Amino acid sequence: MKLEILYQDDCLVAINKPAGLLVHRSMIDRHETQFAIQILRDQIGQRVYPVHRLDKPTSGVLLFALDSDTARLMGELFTQRETEKQYLAVVRGYSAEAGVIDYPLKEQRDKMTDAKADQEKPAQPAITAYQRLQQVELPYPVGRYVSARYSLLRLSPQTGRKHQLRRHLKHIFHPIVGDTSHGDGKHNTLFREQFDCHRLLLHAQCLRFIHPRSQQQVVLEAGLDESFSAILRRFCWSL
């Protein structure tokens, strides 16, 4: 596998992570043999340091530092919310035109990797702004409904909780299509059977920040893969 490099300088490198690729080795997915951090290291011939995360099924902008000091500085930017992230998502139903989801989330813990973590930690603030870009009604019956409705959203998380976007969209009853953990199985099945779409329809489209070394603004944008693009074409949606 060769990764699409979106940006590279002496301190940072960014890729367009494919859906289904882990960022790094995980006890949860022991069977996986390919990881973004390893592939990128071999591709550019030097060590890389991930400075934020994307879930395995999520595609899009993924940023790495090329040294530990830059990784620390970038980590501070993310922690202090001095980065701007935008995602695209296809969700069930007609959402409102725009809104802000302000819903604290308890930290989700994995049984294997977080076994010794504090289980009593209170819910942490979590905020996601969203804007509806497109909507469509399809002549496919789902459950008790004679048709199926979907919206294309631009999501702007203001915080970075684990699975925040997927959990927030579920909270407002517009789960992301293809989400096998927080989504709607009937709609996931429809997309697999009718559109041959087997991925989570969540894509990290854009990341903006001030470069910690040059102090210049950096804007990273990642294009959609063929599976996501095919859905937009099928629904006659444009960005």
Q: Which residues contact 15 (CB under 8 A, 6 or more apart)?
A: 3, 4, 5, 6, 36, 40, 61, 62, 64
Q: pTM of the entire structure?
A: 0.93
Residue type, 236: C
Domain assignment present for 208: yes
Domain assignment present for 210: yes
Task: Kindly give the parts of the chain with pLDDT less than 50.
Answer: 112-113
Domain assignment present for 239: no
Provide the pLDDT for residue 25. 72
Tokens of 143: 């459950």
Tokens of 12: 């940072």
Domain assignment present for 50: yes
Provide the pLDDT for residue 29. 57
Provide the pLDDT for residue 98. 98
Q: Partners of 86 in the beta sheet?
A: 206
Provide the pLDDT for residue 218. 98
Provide the pLDDT for residue 111. 54
- CATH number for the domain that contains residue 49: 3.30.2350.10
Domain assignment present for 116: no
Provide the pLDDT for residue 119. 63
Provide the pLDDT for residue 118. 63
Provide the pLDDT for residue 170. 98
Provide the pLDDT for residue 117. 55
What range defines the domain where residue 141 resides?
4-111+121-234
Alpha helix ranges (H) inside 56-184:
68-79, 164-171
**Residue 55 designated active-site:** yes
Provide the pLDDT for residue 227. 97
Split into its structural domains, the chain has a count of: 1
Distance of CA 180 to the CA centre of its chain: 14
The DSSP bridge pattern shows strands 127-138 and 148-157 to be: antiparallel
| CA pair distance 155, 66, nearest whole angstrom | 28
| CA pair distance 190, 148, nearest whole angstrom | 9
29, 55, 102, 118: the active-site residue: 55
